[in-house]
Structure 1
Amino acid sequence: MNKAHILLATASLTAGLLGACVDQSRVSSTSGEVRGANADDLLVVDCLLPGQIRQLGSRLTYQTARRPIQTTVHDCQIRGGEYVAYDRANYQTALNIWMPLANEGDADAQNKVGEIYERGLGGPPDYTLAAAWYRKAADQGHPRAQINLGFLYEKGLGVDRDPEAALSWYRKASELPDAVMIDRQALDAQRAQIDSLRDDLDRSRNQLEKARRDLRNSEQRLHQQRKKLDALPSPTSGMSADQRRQLEASRRELEKQRIELAQRQEKIKELESQSRRQQENLLLLQTEGSTQREQLNLVRTQLERAQKDLQQYQQQAATNQQLLAQTRTDLAALSKDQVKDDEAHAHIKRLAGRLAEREQALGQQEAAVERLQNKVAELSGQLAKTKAAKQGDLERVKQALDNAQADLALARETAEKRAAALYEAQTELETQKRKAGESGARLAELELQLQEREQVLSGQQTMVENLRKESDQLKQKLQQLEEQQSKSRTAVAKSDEQVAPPSIQLIDPPLLTVRGTADNRIPIKRGLKHRTVVGQVTAPAGLYALNINGIRTQHDATGLFETDVLLAAEETPVNVVAVDKQGRRTTLAFSLIAGADKEQMIAKPINPLKDVEVGKYYALVIGNQDYETLPDLDTAAADAREVAAVLKERFGYDVTLLLNANRYEILSALNRMRKELTDKDSLLVYYAGHGELDRVNLRGHWLPVDAEAQNTANWISNVSITDILNAMSVRHVLMIADSCYSGALTRSALTQIDAGQSEDERSHWLKTLWKMRSRTAMTSGGLAPVLDGGGGQHSVFAKALLNVLRDVNDITEGQRVYREVSARVAFEATRYQVEQVPEYAPIKYAGHESGDFLFVPKNYLN
C-alpha cells in the first residue's frame, strides 16, 4: 500500500533532517519493549574536562585551566568531565562552560556562545547577543561564525535585514567570492516586498486619480453655482430710484433712532442706578441718625439723673451747713459754760465728735458734687457736639436726596420726551415700511436666498479646500512611495546582480558526464526519426525564455520542459539556451549519436584532486521498514539496500547498512563514526523511515523501529543528530533523507559555479570546496506530501537519486547531483499531479563552513 509522507516543520532547526511521517490516526499507543536502555550515553553534551597536570622542570607541578569540549555523555564520564544531563541542559549551563574561553578571545568558543544564544536553549532566542558574539568570531576569520552571521543578516534576526551584507559574509567564509549566490527564497521575499509596494503605489495612484476627478467635479459645480448666483436679479431691482432712496434713508434714520434710543435707555438705566445708590445712602444715614438719637437720649437721661442727684446733694449740703452752724453756735455757748459741770464737758466732747463726722461727710458730698458737676459739663459738651454733627449730616443727606430726586425727575422727563420722539420715529418707519409694501418683503426674501447661496458657496469652497489638501497629501504619499519603490528597485537590482544564473538539467536522455564540456554526447537507437528531450531549467531570477535549436519552447512554472527533436542520420546537435529575466543566458550543448557505444563515449577522467589527499569515503545507510508499533513502510529497506550497493560499487564507499534499526543501534553507529573518521574523510548518511514532530518543543525526530507514536523515549531528535555531526572531525557530511522535512533551510550559504567555466577554473574551485568543511542535507520534499511509490520497487526520490548516481562519471558536487535529482522528481511528480520539490541546504549548528560534498567515482580514487 502506497502512502504519502506528511512533512512537518520545526522552528528549532534551520536545516532539516528528514524522516517519514507517522499518520497517528492509524497508530495504537500500546507500549512495546524498549531496547537500547543506555542509548542516552551516546548523546553529545557540553563537557568541561579537568585541567591537565603538567610538570615544569623537576620541582614544579601545576594544573591547567579546565577545557570545554563537545563529546558524548559516555566519553565525558570516562574522562572525568563535568556536564549537565542532555535533557536538562539549558541556556545558562551551556554558557557556563563556553563563556570563560569566549571571553579570552577563542573564536570557536565565541561562535558556540553565539549558537547558544541563537538556539535559545531553555528559553527564547536572543538574536542580538548571538549576532554580537558571531561578529567577534567572524572578525577573526572563523568560517562557521561568518556563515552564522550571514544567516542572521539574511533573515533580519538581531540585525537589520541586509541580503548584501549576508552575501558578503557568505563569500568571506567560502574563499570563493564570485561563487556564492543569493538563493531563490531571499529573492522571492524581496520580490514579494516589491510587489507589495507596487500594489500600494497602484492603490495610491487610483486614490489620487479619484481625488483629482472629485476635485475637477467640485470645481465645475462651484463654477456653475457662481454663474447661477451672478445670474440672479438684484434684491432691489423691482423698485424705482426714488423708492430705493427713500428706503435707504428710512433705514439710515431708523438705525440712527435705534442708536439714540439705546443711548437714552442706557442713560436712564444709569440715572436709575444712581438714584438707587442715593436712596441706599439715605437709608443708611437715616439708620445711623436713629442710632445716634438713641445714644443722645441715653446721654440726656443720664444727665437728668445726674442733675437730680446734684440737687439732692446740694440740698443735703445746705442742711448739713445749717446743722454745722447750729453746732458751732451750741459749741460756743457750751464753751462759755464748760466749767459749770462735768456733764456739760462730756456733752461738749460728743458734740465735737459729731461735728468732725459731719464735716467729713460734708467734704465727701462736696467732692461728689464736684464730680457730678464735671460729668454734667462733659455730657453737656458731648451732647452739643453730637447735635451739631448729626444736624450737619442730616442736612447734607436731605440736600443730596433733594438733588437726586430732582435729577431723577429731570431724567424721567427727558426719557419721556425721547420715548415720544422714538414713538414718532417708529410710527414714521412703519409708515415707510407700509409704503415699501411688497418691495420690503421681496427684499427680505432675496436677502434670505442670498444668505443661503452664500452658505452653499462657503461649503463648496471648504470642500474644494479639503480636496486640495487631500490632493497634496496624496501627492506627497505618491512621492514617498515612488522614492521607496526606487530604493527597492535599486536594492533588487543589486541583489539581482548576485543571483545565480540559470542552470539546465537534462532528465531524459541523461548525460553521461556533468562536467559541462562541449563534447557531451548521448547514444540513441538507430532508425529513430524523433527523440523526446525532457529537462528542467532552474532560474533564481525568473525564467524569461527557453529555446531549443532556435525554437521557442514552452515550460511549466517549475521550469520543466519536454520537446521532440528531429533526428539527422548519424549525429544530431542539440543546443538548449535559457535566458533569465536579468538577460543572463546559459547554454547546454549536446549531441544525439545514433547507434554509438555508451562505454566508448564516456569522457576520459580528468582528476582535479590528484594532488590532494582526499581521504576515505564512508556511508551509513539506514532503512527502517518493519516497525514494532508503527505502520510498516513499503520501500524503505529496498531503497537502503540499493543505495548502499551503488555507493559501494561506483564510488568505493565503506558502507554500514542498518536495516530496521532501533535507537541504540543508530546512535551507536553514528558515535562509532564520530570516533573513527578523520578530518580528511567524508561521510554520507542516508535515512529512510518514519519521522515525527514533537508538538510540545517543535523538534523534528527520526523514529527507530522501537519508537512509539505517543512516547518520545525512543525518538531521536534532529538536534541530537546535529550535535553529533558537529562533534565529528570529518571533512564533509551529506545527509540524505527520503522522509519528513523538519526545519527551515537556507541555500544562501551554498557555493555555486557558472556552467561553461574552463577546466582550470573548475579544478581550482573543486579544490577549494574540498578544503572547506561542509554539513549539508538533501531532502525528498518540502512542506508537502512526497510519493512513496511511483518508482517501481523504490520511491520516486530514491529512484531519481539512484539513476543520477549511476550516471555520474566525473567529480560532482552534491549541489549538482541535487539539481539533477530535483528535476527528475519534479517531472515524475507531475505525472501524479502532486507537488514534490526536493531541497538541498546546509545543516545549521552542525559546523558547516561553506564547502560542499563531492561525489568522486571509484576510478578517480584509484
Structure 2
Amino acid sequence: MFVWKKITFIGKRIALSFLITLLLMASSPFFTSNRANADYINIPNVADADKLLIVDCLLPGSIRQMGTRLTMLTARRAIKTSGADCERRGGEYVPADRANAASALNVWKPLAEAGDRQAQTYVGEIYEKGMGTAPNYQQAVQWYTQAANKGDARAKTNLGNLSERGQGVARNPAQAINLYGDASRLGRSYSTAEPAAPPPQARKPSTANAQAVAEAKQALEQERRAALQQQAEVEKLKRQAQAAAAAKKKEADLLAKQKRIREAEAELAEVERAKASGKEPVAKPPAKIASAADAPKIEILSPPISAMRSIGKPKIQVSEEVGNPLTLRGRVSPVQEIAKLSLNGKSIQYDKQGGFSASLPVNVSGTEVRVSAANQQGQSTDFSFILLPPETAGNTAAADAPTDKASVSGVNFGRYYALVIGNQNYAGFPALATSVNDARAVAGALESRYGFRTAVLENATRSKMLAAFDALRNKLQPQDNLLIYYAGHGELAGGSGYWLPVDARKGDTKSWVSNAQVTNFVDAIQAKHVLVVADSCYSGTLSQSAIPRLSASSGGKSREWYEAVAKTKVRVVLSSGGVRPVMDGGGGKHSVFGAAFLKALNAGGTVLEGARIFRRLKGQVSSAAGAAGIKQTPQFAPIRFAGHEAGDFVFLKDGRAVIDGNPEEPGSPGNVQRTLLAIWEKSVLKPVEAA
C-alpha cells in the first residue's frame, strides 16, 4: 500500500510536470502555432460582407432624464463604423457601395457648420476625394483651414498636402512643410542647427540715475573680462596653429567687441559728466544684449535628418537615385531679423514664415550642403551636411547601425498584433506560387523574433478578409500596434488599386477589396501604430501622396524621438512596387519582395523601424527584379486619409512592450511562465521534500 501511494504520487508529479511543460510551450512565442495564435481575434463567417465596410453613420440622439418629470433628447452623433455596427446601434447610413459625396455630406456637413473640427476635416476630405464627382479642392481648403485654425492635426496635414501640390491654393512647398511640422506631435523631429556663439554686446546706459550707471559699469566690467579671455583664446589658437578659420573669426569678433566697449566707455563717461554737472541726459532705449538664443536658427525639414552626436558632417542617405534632383526644404527664424540666407554660398529667397526650398543634385560621391543665415546684428549660423544616394558604399553600416538600447529603455510601445494574408489559389485568376509560403514565413518571424500575436489567413475569400478587418476594429485598443501583411494578386481599375481575394471575379470590382476600403479600415482601427505591408501588383496606389516620405536613414534616433513616437498616431505603408506589376517569384520559395522583407526582419537588432526595413530591402528588390527585366521599386510612405500624424512603426525584439523598464503585464508570457513555475514549486517540490 505504501509503495502504491508513493508511485501514485510520483505519477501525479510526472503528469503535472508534463502539463506544466505544455503550458509553458503554449505561452512561449517560440512554440505558438498560427492556429492557436489566431485566437486573439474571432473571424466569423458572414453572410453579407458588405455590411462590414466602413460607412458614415448618423446615430440617434439618446433620451436623458432631467429631474423627475423632464426628459430630453440629445443631438444626433456622427461616427465612422461598419454598416452592421451602425444598424445595431440604430443609426442611419448609406451602404458603402452606394455612398457618394452627397450622402456623406448629409452626415458630416451639419456638424461641420456647427463648428465641430473633426467634422470640418471630414467634409474637407469628402470634397478632396470627390466621391463620385470631380474633386473640389477650393472647398476642401476652406474646410481644412477652419479645422486647422482650431488645432486639428489631420486637417493641417491635409492642408499641407494641397499646399504642396498647388490644388485649391497657390503652390507653396515651404508652407506645406510648416503645416506638416505643426501637425506632428513629434514637434520638430528634423534637425536644428545650433547657432554660432554670437559676440556679446556691451549694454548701454539708458538713464543717468545711479542704479543704471552702476549696472552699466558692472556690465562693462564683465565685457572687459570676457574680452580678455577671448583675446587669450585667440592667441592660444594662433600659437598652436589650429583651427585657423576659428581663430580668425574669433579675432574679428574681438575687434568688434573692443569697438563696442570703446563706444560704451565713451557713452558712460558722457553720462558721468552729465551727472557731475547736475544735467540729466536724454534717456535712450536700452540696447539688447545679444545671446546665443538671438542668433539665426536653421531648421532642415526635408529630407528628414535625425539628430546626431558625431564628429564631422552628418551623412544623410536619401531615396533619390544618382542624377535625380532632390528638393531641400527648411525654415529660418526669427524671420524679421534675417539679413541674408544662402545655400552653398549663393543667396536664396525665403517667405514670410521663413520657409525656403532649393533643388539639389544627388551625386554618386555625395552632395555637400551648407546653409548659412545671418541676422541684422551680424550674428550667423551655419549648418552643413552631406546627402548620399541609396546604398552608397561606406554609408550602409552607419545608416543601419543598431539603435542604442538606452534610447528605448523604459519607453512603453504597447502590444503587438499582426494579420497576415497569403492568397495563392485563385478561381478566376492565375494561381500564384509563393504567397502562402511568404505569409507563413512572415508570421513565423513576427512571432518568434518580435513577439507578435498573429492571425494567418491562407487563400482568404472577400468575406473572410473583411471579417478579419472588422474583428481588428472591434479588438484593438489605442495602446496596440498592428501590422497587416498581404501577399496576393492586385489589380488597377479606374485609377484605384485593389487586393484580390481568392473568390474575386474578373471585371467585377465589387468582388475585390479596394485600397480605399483598406484605408478606411486602417483609419477606423483604434491601434496607435499601423503598418501595412503589401506585396501585390499596383500596391503603390496605397502610398500615392504628397506627404513627405519618411527618412530612409534610421540610425541615430534619440530617446526623445522614441518617446514621442510611442504617443503618436502612425499610419504607414510599405509596398512591393509602385503603380505597376510586381514579381511573384525571384526569391526561391518566396517572392523577391517577400524574401527581402524576411531578410530585413531577421537581421533586426533590439529595435527596428519601418524606414530601416525599407532601406534594407529597396536596393535588393530593385536589383533582383532588374536582373529579370522588370522594373520594381518598393515604396514607403504615410497612408493618406488614414490619420497619420508623424513617426514610424517600431519593432521590438521579443515583443517587449517596455524595454528594460516596467515589468511585463500580468498576461505576458514571462509572467505566465513564472506563475506556472511557482505553482510547480508549491504543489510538487514541497510535497517531495515532505515525503
Give the Å deviation of 1:496: 11
Q: Match of 1:62?
A: 72
Q: 2:516 aligns with which of 710, 719, 724?
A: 719
Q: Match of 2:48?
A: 38
Q: 1:500 and 1:853, CA in 2 relative to 1: closer, same or farther beyond 3 A?
A: same
Q: Match of 1:638?
A: 437
Which structure 2 residues correspond to residues 449-464 of structure 1 after superposition, within 5 A?
Answer: none
User: Distance in 1 between the 2:605 and 2:362 partners?
Assistant: 26
User: Distance in 1 between the 2:153 and 2:368 partners?
Assistant: 32
User: Distance in 1 between the 2:618 and 2:607 partners?
Assistant: 19
User: Distance in 2 between the 1:44 and 1:171 partners?
Assistant: 29
Note if contact 1:731-1:774 (Cα within 8 Å) is conserved in structure 2: yes
Give the Å deviation of 1:579: 3.6
Note if contact 1:543-1:580 (Cα within 8 Å) is conserved in structure 2: no
Q: 1:794 and 1:732, CA in 2 relative to 1: closer, same or farther beyond 3 A?
A: same
Q: Match of 2:124?
A: 114
Give the Å deviation of 1:610: 4.2
Q: Match of 1:293?
A: none
Q: Which has the higher contact order (CA 8 A, sep 6+)?
A: 1
Give the Å deviation of 1:180: 5.3
Note if contact 1:609-1:763 (Cα within 8 Å) is conserved in structure 2: yes
Q: Deviation per CA, 1:39-77: give whole Å up to 9, x if none.
A: 111111111111011122222211100100111111111
User: Distance in 1 between the 2:466 and 2:651 partners?
Assistant: 25
Note if contact 2:584-2:592 (Cα within 8 Å) is conserved in structure 1: yes
Q: Match of 2:652?
A: 856
Is 1:167 aligned with 2:177? yes
Richer in helix (by share): 1
Q: 1:637 and 1:64, CA in 2 relative to 1: closer, same or farther beyond 3 A?
A: same
Which structure 2 residues correspond to residues 6-405 of structure 1 after superposition, within 5 A?
Answer: 37-176=47-186, 178-179=188-189
Q: Deviation per CA, 1:85-130: give whole Å up to 9, x if none.
A: 2222111111111112212221111110111111112311110010
AA partner of residue 74 (structure 1): A
Q: 1:624 and 1:831, CA in 2 relative to 1: closer, same or farther beyond 3 A?
A: same
Q: What secondary structure, in the 3-state scheme, does the structure 2 residue paired with 1:783 have?
A: coil
* Sequence identity (%): 42
User: Distance in 1 between the 2:187 and 2:630 partners?
Assistant: 38
Q: What secondary structure, in the 3-state scheme, does the structure 1 residue paired with 2:637 have?
A: strand
Q: Match of 2:496?
A: 699
Note if contact 2:446-2:452 (Cα within 8 Å) is conserved in structure 1: yes
Give the Å deviation of 1:560: 12
Q: 1:693 and 1:682, CA in 2 relative to 1: closer, same or farther beyond 3 A?
A: same
Note if contact 1:772-1:852 (Cα within 8 Å) is conserved in structure 2: no
Q: What secondary structure, in the 3-state scheme, does the structure 2 residue paired with 1:733 have?
A: strand
Q: 2:460 aligns with which of 634, 653, 661?
A: 661
Give the Å deviation of 1:497: 5.6
Runs of 4+ in 1 over 6 A off after TM superposition: 515-519, 558-561, 586-592, 602-605, 753-756
User: Distance in 2 between the 1:802 and 1:104 partners?
Assistant: 50
Q: Match of 1:500?
A: 303
Give the Å deviation of 1:838: 0.4
Q: Match of 2:640?
A: 844
Q: Match of 1:791?
A: 587
Which structure 2 residues correspond to residues 364-763 of structure 1 after superposition, within 5 A?
Answer: 498-500=301-303, 538=318, 540=320, 578-580=366-368, 584-585=385-386, 606=405, 608-695=407-494, 698-741=495-538, 743=541, 745-746=544-545, 748-752=547-551, 757=556, 762-763=558-559
User: Distance in 1 between the 2:625 and 2:503 partners?
Assistant: 32
Q: 1:108 and 1:782, CA in 2 relative to 1: closer, same or farther beyond 3 A?
A: same
Note if contact 1:560-1:827 (Cα within 8 Å) is conserved in structure 2: no
Q: 1:684 and 1:603, CA in 2 relative to 1: closer, same or farther beyond 3 A?
A: closer
Q: Deviation per CA, 1:723-758: give whole Å up to 9, x if none.
A: 11111111111110111225262363455497664x
AA partner of residue 639 (structure 2): I
Q: Deviation per CA, 1:249-290: give whole Å up to 9, x if none.
A: xxxxxxxxxxxxxxxxxxxxxxxxxxxxxxxxxxxxxxxxxx
Q: TM-score, normalised by structure 2?
A: 0.60
Note if contact 1:771-1:851 (Cα within 8 Å) is conserved in structure 2: no
Q: 1:791 and 1:765, CA in 2 relative to 1: closer, same or farther beyond 3 A?
A: same
User: Distance in 2 between the 1:795 and 1:851 partners?
Assistant: 28
Note if contact 2:164-2:546 (Cα within 8 Å) is conserved in structure 1: no
Q: 1:825 and 1:811, CA in 2 relative to 1: closer, same or farther beyond 3 A?
A: same
Q: 1:591 and 1:45, CA in 2 relative to 1: closer, same or farther beyond 3 A?
A: closer
User: Distance in 2 between the 1:165 and 1:608 partners?
Assistant: 32
Note if contact 1:43-1:667 (Cα within 8 Å) is conserved in structure 2: yes
User: Distance in 2 between the 1:591 and 1:68 partners?
Assistant: 49
AA partner of residue 724 (structure 1): F
Give the Å deviation of 1:174: 1.4
User: Distance in 1 between the 2:309 and 2:652 partners?
Assistant: 18
Q: What secondary structure, in the 3-state scheme, does the structure 1 residue paired with 2:90 have?
A: coil
Q: What secondary structure, in the 3-state scheme, does the structure 2 residue paired with 1:787 have?
A: coil
- Indicate the structure (1 or 2) with the bigger Cα radius of gyration: 1
Ranges in structure 2 where 5+ consecutive residues have no aligned partner: 1-44, 192-296, 325-360, 371-383, 658-663, 665-691
AA partner of residue 58 (structure 1): T
User: Distance in 1 between the 2:304 and 2:103 partners?
Assistant: 46
Give the Å deviation of 1:840: 0.8
Q: Match of 2:196?
A: none
Q: 1:499 and 1:621, CA in 2 relative to 1: closer, same or farther beyond 3 A?
A: same
Note if contact 2:190-2:304 (Cα within 8 Å) is conserved in structure 1: no
User: Distance in 2 between the 1:145 and 1:135 partners?
Assistant: 7
Q: Match of 2:281?
A: none
Q: What secondary structure, in the 3-state scheme, does the structure 2 residue paired with 1:86 have?
A: coil
Q: Match of 2:567?
A: 771
Give the Å deviation of 1:707: 0.8
Note if contact 1:134-1:148 (Cα within 8 Å) is conserved in structure 2: yes
Q: 1:620 and 1:714, CA in 2 relative to 1: closer, same or farther beyond 3 A?
A: same
Alignment root-mean-square deviation, CA: 3.5
User: Distance in 1 between the 2:320 and 2:54 partners?
Assistant: 38
Q: Match of 2:334?
A: none
Ranges in structure 1 where 5+ consecutive residues have no aligned partner: 1-34, 182-493, 504-514, 520-535, 545-557, 562-576, 593-601
Q: 1:775 and 1:539, CA in 2 relative to 1: closer, same or farther beyond 3 A?
A: closer
Q: TM-score, normalised by structure 1?
A: 0.48
Q: Match of 1:827?
A: 623
Q: What secondary structure, in the 3-state scheme, does the structure 1 residue paired with 2:405 have?
A: coil
User: Distance in 2 between the 1:668 and 1:787 partners?
Assistant: 28
AA partner of residue 731 (structure 1): K
AA partner of residue 526 (structure 2): S
